[in-house]
Amino acid sequence: MLEEFIPVYDHLRMAIQGVKNKEQGINDPWVDGVNHVLRQFAEILKSHGVEEIKTVGEIFNPELHEAVGEEEGEEEGKILREIFAGYTMNGKVIRPAKVIVTK
C-alpha cells in the first residue's frame, strides 16, 4: 500500500515547492491548506514507521541512495541534490533516494 501512497506524497511536496519557488513571500490560503494536508500526510507516514532518507550534504551511501548523476564538487561522494526522496520503514529501505553526487 505504501508503494501507492508515497508517489502521491511526493507529488504534493513537488507541487508546493513549485508554488513556493514562483511566489516567495505571498500568503495564499490554498497553499497554506495544502501545506497542512502535507504535514498531516507526513505525520501519518511517520506513525507507521516511514521516514525520509537524508540526502543533501550527506555522504553517498549505496544502501540508502541511488546516484542518477554526477557533478564536479569539492568533496567526492557528497550528495549535491535530491531528485526523488527515498524512504525507510522501520529501518528498512522501501525506496532509495535518487540523488546527484560529486565526483
Do 66 and 97 have their domain in common?
Answer: yes
Do 39 and 58 have their domain in common?
Answer: no
Number of structural domains the chain divides into: 2
Rounded to whole angstroms, the Cα distance separating 33 from 25 reads 16
Rounded to whole angstroms, the Cα distance separating 56 from 71 reads 14
Do 74 and 42 have their domain in common?
Answer: no
Domain residue limits at 12: 1-48
Would the CA dihedral through 97, 100, 102, 103 be positive or negative? Answer: positive
Angle between helices 2-22 and 29-47 (to 10 degrees): 150
Do 60 and 27 have their domain in common?
Answer: no
Do 30 and 71 have their domain in common?
Answer: no
- Per run of 10 residues, the mean pLDDT along the chain (length 103 residues) is 87 80 66 88 94 96 97 92 95 96 95
Write down the pLDDT at residue 50: 95
Provide the whole-model pTM: 0.81
Do 67 and 41 have their domain in common?
Answer: no
Name the residue among 89, 88, 81 with its Cα closest to residue 60: 81
Do 72 and 93 have their domain in common?
Answer: yes
